């Protein structure tokens, strides 16, 4: 049942109403039967809604306003880096010289696009310390799969075929074990210690000659930088494995620390988190993968090379894992990231990371007065609170999350990472003002008070949204998307 009152286009339809005016036909019109075979012709015209242009514009504008968005409010969805993306980068990516290109054009006619890929690769190498990048992966998870395929290619090239395990911490993002399974490896879980990092003793026990590699994000999903990272790298390397850096949390480290210096061999960046493309919403993403020198031969084909002042695509790479995406990846997203990096400069990127970290620590300290903070140490760009105190009052984290839209805020990520009870993972990003952060603190403070004094307010939340509390499973499993007359 629909709860909000917005009529559908079909309900707004009035026979004969129209939203277009086409010029008169100046060629003879042939009957359709003469142009198309009979069996593909409709017997009856389609039943489409008949509407004026303002009807349509208002309808879609209202629909767009039913959703929360970074453009309408604070969106502290941890791990997703829902920051504001400057409009200029959207505009640049839509310049006709870029948007009208076809990937099958001869390389002499796309020199500018290849130059952009070539230069962008240099930027990502500088930020990560890696030697080369591929832009083919379309998302972080796709980058993980690519990286694991590179790990497999590396070991089998050496004739080392007994390695079938990938080590992942118990705080890992769900895509990590999923990618491991996709790539045909087994996951071995390494425990976290009480400071939120990897338990080194446990890692030493499980790293052996069946270990193909370790996947880690640093800072990890608790928002904590693992200060033992060089030791971790040493343990894995000594066992003969490689280290994969899940770069989804790169918004904390740009221009400050580099995955290659930490000891990682492979990295992906989520251009659609850190570099000016919104994350989520179903649009195209980009998860470029970078590698250290010894893995370069295995990168997907083609790579962009430069010779005698012109750029070309190199397919002649016999050890390559092949292709993992059509053409060269989602080029539009790469353009936006390139424009973002150029407009920020390396100093600007560093400042963005510093301010993302500052904002997170400011929020964490203020909110720790009202909520349990399980890992009480300086955080990076995000932090994880626990709703365990409120749970004792019969209030779940879900109830508190559902109350936030009433204040105009998107809820944080909840119930992740799995190792924190009633988790709330909060990532404010660098693009929010102190006023916004303070308003969020006020809202959370009120929610903590309601948990004690007015629990029904939380249990029945949200109160002001177009739809109230949804059955989230049914919305995903049995969506009712069809209009019936």
Ligand X SMILES: *Cc1c(COP(=O)(O)O)cnc(C)c1O
Give the binding site for ligand X (CB under 6 A). 79, 139-141, 173, 175, 217, 221, 246, 248-249, 270, 285, 287
The least CB distance from residue 173 to ligand X, in Å, is 3
Q: What are phi and psi of 104, to 5 degrees?
A: -95, 5
In the complex, minimum distance from the CB of residue 181 to ligand X, in angstroms, rounded to a whole number: 15
Strands, E, within 228-347: which ranges?
A: 242-247, 266-269, 289-291, 303-307, 310-314
Q: Which is nearer to ligand X, 142 or 155 (CB)?
A: 142
Pairing of strands 289-291, 266-269: antiparallel
Eight-state DSSP code of residue 192: B
Three-class DSSP category at 198: strand
Residue 114 vs 356, nearer CB to ligand X: 356
Q: How far apart are CA 449 and CA 469, in angstroms?
A: 21
Nearer to ligand X, 139 or 198 (CB): 139
- Cβ 115 to ligand X, closest distance in Å? 26
Nearer to ligand X, 401 or 461 (CB): 401
Residue 313 CB, shortest distance to ligand X, in Å, is 25
Nearest residue (CB) to ligand X, 192 versus 390: 192
Element (H, E) at 58: helix 53-66
Compute CA distances 41 → 29, 36, 37, 50, 457, whole Å: 17, 7, 7, 22, 57
CB of 259 to ligand X, least distance (A): 13
Find, among 411, 480, 400, the residue nearest to 447 by Cα: 400
Which residue has the CB atom at the shortest distance from ligand X?
140
The pair of three-digit structure tokens given for residue 361, joined into one six-digit string: 């620590």
Question: Considering the complex, what minimum distance in angstroms separates the CB of residue 363 from ligand X?
Answer: 18
Helix (H/G/I), strand (E/B), else coil: 316: coil
Name the residue nearer to ligand X (CB basis): 51 or 357.
357
Least distance between ligand X and beta carbon 104 (Å): 27
Q: At what angle do helices 331-367 and 111-128 cross, to 10 degrees?
A: 30
Choose between 121 and 246: whose C-beta lies nearer to ligand X.
Answer: 246
- Sheet with 165-169: strands ordered across: 132-134, 289-291, 266-269, 242-247, 211-216, 165-169, 186-190
Kindly tell me which of 241 and 288 has the beta carbon lying closer to ligand X.
288
Shortest gap between Cβ of 69 and ligand X (angstroms)?
18
Please report how close the Cβ of residue 221 comes to ligand X at its closest, in angstroms: 6
HEC string for 326-386: CCCCCHHHHHHHHHHHHHHHHHHHHHHHHHHHHHHHHHHHHHCCCCECCCCCCCCCCEEEE
Could you give the CA distance from residue 350 to residue 346 in angstroms, rounded to a whole number? Answer: 6
Phi-psi group of 16: left, alpha or beta (phi > 0 → left; psi -120 to 50 → alpha; rest → beta): left
Would you say 239 or 380 has its CB closer to ligand X? Answer: 380
In angstroms, give the least distance from the CB of 246 to ligand X.
Answer: 5
Q: How far is the CB of 25 from ligand X (least distance, A)?
A: 48
Q: Give me the helices (H) in 158-228, please.
A: 175-182, 200-206
Residue 148's closest CA among 129, 128, 167, 130?
167
Q: Rounded to whole angstroms, how far apart are CA atoms 361 and 383?
A: 8
Nearer to ligand X, 113 or 426 (CB): 426
Output phi, psi for 120, to 5 deg: -65, -40
Closer to ligand X at the Cβ: 249 or 320? 249
269 or 371: whose CB is closer to ligand X?
269
Whether 148 and 166 have beta carbons less than 8 Å apart is answered as: yes
Residue 71: CB minimum distance to ligand X, A: 20
């Amino acid at each position: 049942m629909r709860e909000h009152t917005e009529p559908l286009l079909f309900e707004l339809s009035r026979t004969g109403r129209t939203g277009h005016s086409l010029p008169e036909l100046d060629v003879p019109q042939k009957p359709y039967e003469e142009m198309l075979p009979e069996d593909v012709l409709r017997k009856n015209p389609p039943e489409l809604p008949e509407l004026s242009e303002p009807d349509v514009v208002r309808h879609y504008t209202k629909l767009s306003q039913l959703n929360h968005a970074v453009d309408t409010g604070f969106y502290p969805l941890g791990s997703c880096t829902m920051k504001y993306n400057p409009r200029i980068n959207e505009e640049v990516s839509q310049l006709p010289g870029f948007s009208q290109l076809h990937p099958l054009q001869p390389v002499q006619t796309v020199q500018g696009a290849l130059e952009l890929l070539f230069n962008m690769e240099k930027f990502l190498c500088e930020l990560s310390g890696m030697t080369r990048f591929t832009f083919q992966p379309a998302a972080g998870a796709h980058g993980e799969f690519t990286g694991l395929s590179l790990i497999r290619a590396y070991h089998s090239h050496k004739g080392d075929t007994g390695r079938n395990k990938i080590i992942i911490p118990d705080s890992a993002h769900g895509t990590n074990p999923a990618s491991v399974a996709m790539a045909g490896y087994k996951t071995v879980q390494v425990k976290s210690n009480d400071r939120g990092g990897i338990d080194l003793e446990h890692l030493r026990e499980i790293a052996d000659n069946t270990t193909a590699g370790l996947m880690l994000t640093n800072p990890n999903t608790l928002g904590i930088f693992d200060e033992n990272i060089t030791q971790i790298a040493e343990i894995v390397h000594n066992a003969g494995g490689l280290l994969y850096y899940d770069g989804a949390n790169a918004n904390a480290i740009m221009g400050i620390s580099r995955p290659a210096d930490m000891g990682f061999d492979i990295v992906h960046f989520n251009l659609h988190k850190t570099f000016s493309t919104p994350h989520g919403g179903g649009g195209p993403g980009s998860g470029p993968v970078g590698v250290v020198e010894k893995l370069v031969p295995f990168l997907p084909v083609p790579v962009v090379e430069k010779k005698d002042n012109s750029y070309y695509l190199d397919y002649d790479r016999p050890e390559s894992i092949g292709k993992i995406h059509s053409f060269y990846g989602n080029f539009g997203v790469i353009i936006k990231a390139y424009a973002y990096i150029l407009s920020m400069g390396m100093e600007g990127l560093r400042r963005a990371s510093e301010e993302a970290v500052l904002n997170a620590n400011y929020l964490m300290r203020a909110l720790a007065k009202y909520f349990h903070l399980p890992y009480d140490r300086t955080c990076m760009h995000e932090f994880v609170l626990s709703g365990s105190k409120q749970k004792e009052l019969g209030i779940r984290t879900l109830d508190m999350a559902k109350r936030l839209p009433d204040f105009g805020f998107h809820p944080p990520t909840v119930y992740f990472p799995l190792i924190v009870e009633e988790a709330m993972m909060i990532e404010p990003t660098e693009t929010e003002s102190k006023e916004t952060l303070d308003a969020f603190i006020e809202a959370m403070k009120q929610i903590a008070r309601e948990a004690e004094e007015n629990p029904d307010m939380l249990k029945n939340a949200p109160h002001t949204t177009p739809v109230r509390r949804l059955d989230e499973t049914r919305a995903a499993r049995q969506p009712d998307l069809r209009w019936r007359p």
